Amino acid sequence: MIRTGLAVVVALAAAVFADTACAQFYKGKTVPMIINYPAGGPTDIEGRIVAQHLPAHIAGKPTIVIKNVGGAGGVIGTNQLAEAVPNGETIGFFTIDVVAQLLGNPALRVNYADFEMIAGVEEPLVAYARKDTPPGLAVATDIMQAREFKALSLNAQNSNTINQALSLDLLGLKYRAIPAYRGLKEVETAILQNEGQVANTSLPGWTGSVEPTMGNIVLPLWQLAPRGKDGSYPRSPALAGLPTFEEFYATVKGGQRPSGFTYEVLRASSDPMVGMFRTALMPPKTPSEPVALMRSAFVELWKNPEFIRDYANVIKTKPIFVTGEEAQDIVAALAKVKPEIKAFLLDYSNRLVR
Protein backbone atom coordinates (compact mmCIF):
# COMPACT_ATOMS: atom_id res chain seq x y z
CA MET A 1 0.00 0.00 0.00
CA ILE A 2 2.81 2.39 0.84
CA ARG A 3 4.52 1.73 -2.48
CA THR A 4 1.21 2.11 -4.34
CA GLY A 5 0.51 5.40 -2.61
CA LEU A 6 4.00 6.62 -3.41
CA ALA A 7 3.51 5.70 -7.06
CA VAL A 8 0.28 7.70 -7.17
CA VAL A 9 1.99 10.72 -5.63
CA VAL A 10 4.86 10.49 -8.11
CA ALA A 11 2.44 10.17 -11.03
CA LEU A 12 0.44 13.20 -9.86
CA ALA A 13 3.62 15.21 -9.38
CA ALA A 14 4.79 14.26 -12.87
CA ALA A 15 1.44 15.31 -14.33
CA VAL A 16 1.58 18.68 -12.54
CA PHE A 17 5.16 19.18 -13.73
CA ALA A 18 4.17 18.31 -17.30
CA ASP A 19 1.25 20.76 -17.22
CA THR A 20 3.53 23.47 -15.83
CA ALA A 21 6.15 22.76 -18.50
CA CYS A 22 3.50 22.94 -21.21
CA ALA A 23 2.24 26.23 -19.83
CA GLN A 24 5.77 27.61 -19.97
CA PHE A 25 6.59 26.44 -23.51
CA TYR A 26 5.00 29.45 -25.26
CA LYS A 27 5.03 31.89 -22.36
CA GLY A 28 6.45 35.25 -23.46
CA LYS A 29 7.11 34.08 -27.02
CA THR A 30 6.19 35.61 -30.36
CA VAL A 31 5.04 33.02 -32.88
CA PRO A 32 5.11 33.97 -36.57
CA MET A 33 2.14 32.65 -38.56
CA ILE A 34 3.15 32.38 -42.22
CA ILE A 35 0.25 32.88 -44.61
CA ASN A 36 1.26 31.66 -48.05
CA TYR A 37 -0.73 34.25 -50.00
CA PRO A 38 -0.61 38.08 -50.09
CA ALA A 39 -2.43 40.31 -47.63
CA GLY A 40 -6.07 40.99 -48.41
CA GLY A 41 -6.73 37.69 -50.17
CA PRO A 42 -9.06 34.92 -48.98
CA THR A 43 -6.37 32.94 -47.11
CA ASP A 44 -5.24 36.10 -45.35
CA ILE A 45 -8.81 37.08 -44.37
CA GLU A 46 -9.36 33.76 -42.67
CA GLY A 47 -5.89 33.53 -41.16
CA ARG A 48 -6.20 36.85 -39.40
CA ILE A 49 -9.41 35.81 -37.66
CA VAL A 50 -7.66 32.66 -36.45
CA ALA A 51 -4.57 34.60 -35.32
CA GLN A 52 -6.73 37.02 -33.34
CA HIS A 53 -8.38 34.31 -31.21
CA LEU A 54 -5.88 31.43 -31.14
CA PRO A 55 -3.44 32.75 -28.46
CA ALA A 56 -6.14 32.57 -25.77
CA HIS A 57 -6.24 28.79 -26.26
CA ILE A 58 -2.48 28.16 -26.22
CA ALA A 59 -0.90 27.52 -22.82
CA GLY A 60 1.40 30.49 -22.18
CA LYS A 61 -0.65 32.78 -24.46
CA PRO A 62 2.07 33.72 -27.00
CA THR A 63 1.77 36.65 -29.37
CA ILE A 64 0.98 35.56 -32.94
CA VAL A 65 2.30 37.78 -35.72
CA ILE A 66 1.07 37.42 -39.30
CA LYS A 67 3.74 37.07 -41.99
CA ASN A 68 2.39 37.12 -45.56
CA VAL A 69 4.68 35.26 -47.96
CA GLY A 70 2.91 35.19 -51.32
CA GLY A 71 4.07 34.10 -54.74
CA ALA A 72 4.13 31.02 -57.01
CA GLY A 73 0.60 30.06 -56.02
CA GLY A 74 1.52 29.69 -52.34
CA VAL A 75 4.66 27.63 -52.96
CA ILE A 76 7.14 30.28 -51.74
CA GLY A 77 5.48 30.55 -48.34
CA THR A 78 5.22 26.76 -48.16
CA ASN A 79 8.95 26.37 -48.73
CA GLN A 80 9.71 29.03 -46.14
CA LEU A 81 7.74 27.17 -43.47
CA ALA A 82 9.36 23.88 -44.47
CA GLU A 83 12.79 25.44 -43.93
CA ALA A 84 11.91 27.13 -40.62
CA VAL A 85 13.57 25.85 -37.45
CA PRO A 86 11.32 23.01 -36.20
CA ASN A 87 11.20 24.23 -32.61
CA GLY A 88 7.45 24.78 -32.38
CA GLU A 89 7.76 28.55 -32.63
CA THR A 90 6.56 28.97 -36.23
CA ILE A 91 3.23 27.91 -37.70
CA GLY A 92 1.57 28.27 -41.06
CA PHE A 93 -1.97 28.94 -42.21
CA PHE A 94 -2.08 27.84 -45.83
CA THR A 95 -4.04 27.01 -48.87
CA ILE A 96 -2.05 23.95 -49.88
CA ASP A 97 -1.34 23.33 -53.57
CA VAL A 98 -2.31 19.71 -54.15
CA VAL A 99 -1.54 19.79 -57.87
CA ALA A 100 2.00 21.11 -57.30
CA GLN A 101 2.78 17.99 -55.29
CA LEU A 102 1.03 15.61 -57.68
CA LEU A 103 3.05 17.04 -60.57
CA GLY A 104 6.32 16.94 -58.67
CA ASN A 105 6.70 20.69 -59.24
CA PRO A 106 10.44 21.33 -58.62
CA ALA A 107 9.60 24.72 -57.09
CA LEU A 108 7.89 22.89 -54.20
CA ARG A 109 10.78 21.68 -52.06
CA VAL A 110 8.75 19.68 -49.55
CA ASN A 111 6.17 16.91 -49.44
CA TYR A 112 3.01 18.05 -47.65
CA ALA A 113 2.90 14.78 -45.71
CA ASP A 114 6.20 15.78 -44.06
CA PHE A 115 4.58 18.75 -42.34
CA GLU A 116 2.94 18.36 -38.95
CA MET A 117 -0.73 19.00 -39.65
CA ILE A 118 -2.49 20.91 -36.88
CA ALA A 119 -6.02 21.48 -38.17
CA GLY A 120 -7.99 22.26 -41.31
CA VAL A 121 -11.14 23.96 -42.53
CA GLU A 122 -13.42 22.24 -45.05
CA GLU A 123 -14.67 24.63 -47.74
CA PRO A 124 -16.10 24.50 -51.25
CA LEU A 125 -14.59 26.26 -54.26
CA VAL A 126 -16.88 28.81 -55.96
CA ALA A 127 -16.83 29.51 -59.70
CA TYR A 128 -18.18 32.90 -60.77
CA ALA A 129 -18.55 35.03 -63.90
CA ARG A 130 -19.25 38.61 -64.92
CA LYS A 131 -22.90 39.15 -65.79
CA ASP A 132 -21.92 41.08 -68.92
CA THR A 133 -19.94 38.15 -70.36
CA PRO A 134 -21.22 38.09 -73.99
CA PRO A 135 -24.00 37.45 -74.85
CA GLY A 136 -24.95 38.33 -71.23
CA LEU A 137 -25.70 36.16 -68.20
CA ALA A 138 -29.10 36.44 -66.53
CA VAL A 139 -28.70 33.07 -64.80
CA ALA A 140 -25.70 30.81 -64.25
CA THR A 141 -26.58 28.37 -67.03
CA ASP A 142 -26.29 31.19 -69.59
CA ILE A 143 -22.52 30.66 -69.39
CA MET A 144 -23.08 27.74 -71.78
CA GLN A 145 -23.80 30.29 -74.53
CA ALA A 146 -20.60 32.26 -73.93
CA ARG A 147 -17.69 31.96 -76.35
CA GLU A 148 -13.99 32.74 -76.05
CA PHE A 149 -14.22 34.39 -72.64
CA LYS A 150 -11.10 34.70 -70.48
CA ALA A 151 -10.80 32.48 -67.41
CA LEU A 152 -8.36 34.01 -64.92
CA SER A 153 -6.40 32.00 -62.37
CA LEU A 154 -3.03 31.47 -60.69
CA ASN A 155 -0.05 29.72 -62.29
CA ALA A 156 -0.60 26.79 -64.66
CA GLN A 157 0.46 24.15 -62.13
CA ASN A 158 -1.73 25.49 -59.32
CA SER A 159 -4.79 23.66 -57.99
CA ASN A 160 -6.90 26.78 -58.52
CA THR A 161 -6.05 26.84 -62.22
CA ILE A 162 -6.33 23.11 -62.87
CA ASN A 163 -9.69 22.68 -61.13
CA GLN A 164 -11.18 25.64 -62.97
CA ALA A 165 -9.93 24.53 -66.37
CA LEU A 166 -11.03 20.91 -65.91
CA SER A 167 -14.51 22.05 -64.91
CA LEU A 168 -14.84 24.29 -67.97
CA ASP A 169 -13.51 21.54 -70.25
CA LEU A 170 -15.95 18.96 -68.89
CA LEU A 171 -18.77 21.36 -69.74
CA GLY A 172 -17.40 21.80 -73.26
CA LEU A 173 -16.98 25.57 -72.97
CA LYS A 174 -14.76 27.61 -75.27
CA TYR A 175 -12.48 29.89 -73.31
CA ARG A 176 -8.97 31.29 -73.04
CA ALA A 177 -7.06 30.33 -69.89
CA ILE A 178 -5.02 33.13 -68.32
CA PRO A 179 -2.95 31.46 -65.57
CA ALA A 180 -0.95 34.54 -64.63
CA TYR A 181 -1.81 35.89 -61.17
CA ARG A 182 0.01 35.77 -57.81
CA GLY A 183 -3.10 35.57 -55.65
CA LEU A 184 -6.88 35.50 -55.85
CA LYS A 185 -7.15 39.13 -54.74
CA GLU A 186 -5.30 40.08 -57.92
CA VAL A 187 -7.71 37.88 -59.88
CA GLU A 188 -10.66 39.70 -58.30
CA THR A 189 -9.20 43.07 -59.28
CA ALA A 190 -8.69 41.87 -62.86
CA ILE A 191 -12.29 40.60 -63.04
CA LEU A 192 -13.51 43.93 -61.66
CA GLN A 193 -11.57 45.73 -64.40
CA ASN A 194 -13.00 43.32 -67.02
CA GLU A 195 -9.59 41.95 -67.94
CA GLY A 196 -11.29 38.56 -67.71
CA GLN A 197 -14.77 37.22 -67.20
CA VAL A 198 -14.58 33.93 -65.23
CA ALA A 199 -12.67 32.91 -62.10
CA ASN A 200 -12.99 30.78 -59.00
CA THR A 201 -12.29 31.41 -55.34
CA SER A 202 -12.54 29.89 -51.89
CA LEU A 203 -15.58 30.22 -49.66
CA PRO A 204 -14.22 33.24 -47.73
CA GLY A 205 -13.03 34.68 -51.03
CA TRP A 206 -16.63 34.59 -52.25
CA THR A 207 -18.58 35.49 -49.12
CA GLY A 208 -16.00 37.85 -47.62
CA SER A 209 -14.68 39.61 -50.72
CA VAL A 210 -16.16 38.91 -54.16
CA GLU A 211 -19.86 38.93 -53.31
CA PRO A 212 -19.76 42.04 -51.07
CA THR A 213 -17.67 44.11 -53.49
CA MET A 214 -18.72 42.77 -56.91
CA GLY A 215 -22.10 41.17 -56.32
CA ASN A 216 -23.66 43.66 -58.70
CA ILE A 217 -21.46 42.66 -61.64
CA VAL A 218 -20.81 38.92 -61.11
CA LEU A 219 -22.89 35.87 -60.29
CA PRO A 220 -21.89 32.48 -58.87
CA LEU A 221 -21.96 29.54 -61.30
CA TRP A 222 -21.43 26.46 -59.11
CA GLN A 223 -19.59 25.14 -56.10
CA LEU A 224 -16.98 22.40 -56.21
CA ALA A 225 -18.00 20.83 -52.92
CA PRO A 226 -16.20 18.40 -50.59
CA ARG A 227 -17.00 14.69 -50.81
CA GLY A 228 -19.63 13.40 -48.38
CA LYS A 229 -19.03 10.39 -46.14
CA ASP A 230 -21.17 8.29 -48.51
CA GLY A 231 -19.03 9.24 -51.53
CA SER A 232 -21.55 11.72 -52.94
CA TYR A 233 -21.01 15.47 -53.39
CA PRO A 234 -23.75 17.31 -51.49
CA ARG A 235 -23.96 21.08 -51.32
CA SER A 236 -21.83 22.57 -48.59
CA PRO A 237 -23.91 23.77 -45.64
CA ALA A 238 -22.17 27.10 -46.14
CA LEU A 239 -23.67 27.50 -49.64
CA ALA A 240 -26.92 25.59 -49.45
CA GLY A 241 -28.48 27.69 -52.21
CA LEU A 242 -25.71 27.21 -54.80
CA PRO A 243 -25.74 24.09 -57.03
CA THR A 244 -22.76 21.79 -57.00
CA PHE A 245 -20.72 21.30 -60.15
CA GLU A 246 -22.39 17.90 -60.52
CA GLU A 247 -25.85 19.49 -60.31
CA PHE A 248 -24.92 22.24 -62.74
CA TYR A 249 -23.54 19.68 -65.19
CA ALA A 250 -26.72 17.60 -64.98
CA THR A 251 -28.85 20.70 -65.61
CA VAL A 252 -27.07 21.64 -68.83
CA LYS A 253 -26.41 18.06 -70.02
CA GLY A 254 -29.93 16.68 -69.99
CA GLY A 255 -29.75 15.08 -66.57
CA GLN A 256 -26.44 13.27 -67.07
CA ARG A 257 -23.88 13.31 -64.30
CA PRO A 258 -20.19 13.95 -65.05
CA SER A 259 -18.13 10.81 -65.44
CA GLY A 260 -15.07 9.43 -67.20
CA PHE A 261 -11.35 9.92 -66.78
CA THR A 262 -11.34 13.74 -66.93
CA TYR A 263 -13.89 13.90 -64.14
CA GLU A 264 -11.81 11.42 -62.13
CA VAL A 265 -8.82 13.73 -62.57
CA LEU A 266 -10.88 16.73 -61.45
CA ARG A 267 -11.89 14.97 -58.28
CA ALA A 268 -8.43 13.56 -57.58
CA SER A 269 -7.00 17.08 -57.68
CA SER A 270 -9.87 18.88 -55.93
CA ASP A 271 -11.04 16.51 -53.18
CA PRO A 272 -7.95 16.91 -50.96
CA MET A 273 -8.07 20.68 -51.45
CA VAL A 274 -11.72 21.34 -50.65
CA GLY A 275 -11.60 18.66 -47.94
CA MET A 276 -9.30 21.01 -45.97
CA PHE A 277 -9.16 24.22 -47.99
CA ARG A 278 -7.31 26.01 -45.22
CA THR A 279 -4.65 24.15 -43.30
CA ALA A 280 -2.80 25.01 -40.11
CA LEU A 281 0.56 23.26 -39.99
CA MET A 282 4.04 23.28 -38.52
CA PRO A 283 7.48 22.55 -40.01
CA PRO A 284 8.60 18.96 -40.60
CA LYS A 285 10.17 17.32 -37.54
CA THR A 286 8.55 19.72 -35.08
CA PRO A 287 8.63 18.00 -31.65
CA SER A 288 5.50 16.26 -30.46
CA GLU A 289 4.97 18.59 -27.48
CA PRO A 290 4.28 21.83 -29.41
CA VAL A 291 2.34 19.87 -32.04
CA ALA A 292 0.06 18.48 -29.34
CA LEU A 293 -0.31 21.93 -27.77
CA MET A 294 -1.29 23.51 -31.09
CA ARG A 295 -3.70 20.72 -32.03
CA SER A 296 -5.39 21.08 -28.67
CA ALA A 297 -5.53 24.87 -29.05
CA PHE A 298 -7.31 24.58 -32.41
CA VAL A 299 -9.83 22.12 -30.97
CA GLU A 300 -10.61 24.61 -28.22
CA LEU A 301 -10.66 27.52 -30.68
CA TRP A 302 -13.51 25.86 -32.56
CA LYS A 303 -15.54 25.81 -29.34
CA ASN A 304 -15.02 29.53 -28.73
CA PRO A 305 -18.27 31.45 -29.37
CA GLU A 306 -16.41 34.72 -29.95
CA PHE A 307 -14.26 33.11 -32.64
CA ILE A 308 -17.31 31.52 -34.27
CA ARG A 309 -19.09 34.88 -34.16
CA ASP A 310 -16.22 36.82 -35.73
CA TYR A 311 -15.59 34.13 -38.34
CA ALA A 312 -19.27 33.98 -39.29
CA ASN A 313 -19.52 37.78 -39.47
CA VAL A 314 -16.85 37.83 -42.18
CA ILE A 315 -17.25 34.46 -43.92
CA LYS A 316 -21.05 34.34 -43.44
CA THR A 317 -20.98 30.76 -42.20
CA LYS A 318 -19.55 28.69 -39.35
CA PRO A 319 -16.21 26.98 -40.07
CA ILE A 320 -16.26 23.22 -40.63
CA PHE A 321 -13.41 21.85 -38.54
CA VAL A 322 -10.93 19.19 -39.67
CA THR A 323 -8.69 17.70 -36.97
CA GLY A 324 -4.92 17.52 -37.31
CA GLU A 325 -5.10 13.73 -37.52
CA GLU A 326 -7.70 13.91 -40.33
CA ALA A 327 -5.61 16.49 -42.17
CA GLN A 328 -2.53 14.25 -41.87
CA ASP A 329 -4.49 11.39 -43.45
CA ILE A 330 -5.59 13.63 -46.35
CA VAL A 331 -2.06 14.65 -47.31
CA ALA A 332 -0.77 11.10 -46.82
CA ALA A 333 -3.35 9.88 -49.35
CA LEU A 334 -1.77 12.04 -52.08
CA ALA A 335 0.87 9.34 -52.43
CA LYS A 336 -1.84 6.93 -53.62
CA VAL A 337 -3.03 8.98 -56.61
CA LYS A 338 -2.77 6.93 -59.81
CA PRO A 339 0.32 7.50 -61.98
CA GLU A 340 -1.87 7.98 -65.07
CA ILE A 341 -3.68 10.84 -63.34
CA LYS A 342 -0.38 12.51 -62.50
CA ALA A 343 0.82 12.08 -66.11
CA PHE A 344 -2.41 13.59 -67.44
CA LEU A 345 -2.13 16.56 -65.07
CA LEU A 346 1.45 17.27 -66.14
CA ASP A 347 0.54 17.26 -69.83
CA TYR A 348 -2.62 19.26 -69.14
CA SER A 349 -0.82 22.01 -67.20
CA ASN A 350 1.78 22.30 -69.96
CA ARG A 351 -0.95 22.75 -72.56
CA LEU A 352 -2.59 25.54 -70.52
CA VAL A 353 0.38 27.84 -71.10
CA ARG A 354 0.76 27.21 -74.84
Let me know whether 215 and 239 are in one domain. Answer: yes
269 & 300 share domain: no
233 with 283, same domain: the answer is no
pLDDT tens per residue across span 311-353: 999 888 889 999 999 999 999 999 999 999 999 999 999 898 7
Q: Are residues 114 and 178 in the same domain?
A: no
Specify the CATH number for the domain of residue 326: 3.40.190.150
What is the spatial distance between Cα 57 and Cα 33, in angstroms, rounded to a whole number? 15
Contact by Cβ (8 Å): 116, 291: yes
Which domain range does residue 311 map to? 2-122+274-337
* Long-range pairs of 18-26 with CB within 8 A, sequence gap ≥ 24: 22/59, 22/60, 22/289, 22/293, 23/59, 23/60, 24/60, 25/59, 25/60, 25/88, 25/289, 25/290, 25/293, 26/58, 26/59, 26/60, 26/61, 26/62, 26/88, 26/290, 26/293
pLDDT for residue 182? 83
- H or E, element range at 282: strand 278-282
198-254 pLDDT tens trace: 999 989 889 988 999 999 999 999 999 998 888 899 999 889 999 999 999 999 999
State which amino acid sits at residue 243: P
Same domain for 117 and 181? no
pLDDT at 189 over 70: yes
> Checking DSSP bridges between strand 174-179 and strand 125-130, what pairing results, if any?
unpaired
* Tally of structural domains, the chain: 2
> pLDDT tens digit string along 299-316?
999 999 999 999 999 888
Q: Domain of 162: which CATH number? A: 3.40.190.10
Same domain, 204 and 249: yes
The answer to whether residues 147 and 221 belong to one domain is yes
Q: Please give the Cα distance from 117 to 173 (Å, whole number).
A: 38
Residues 323 and 174 in one domain: no
Q: Are 143 and 129 in contact (CB under 8 A)?
A: yes
pLDDT band at 18 (very low <50, low <70, confident <90, very high): very low
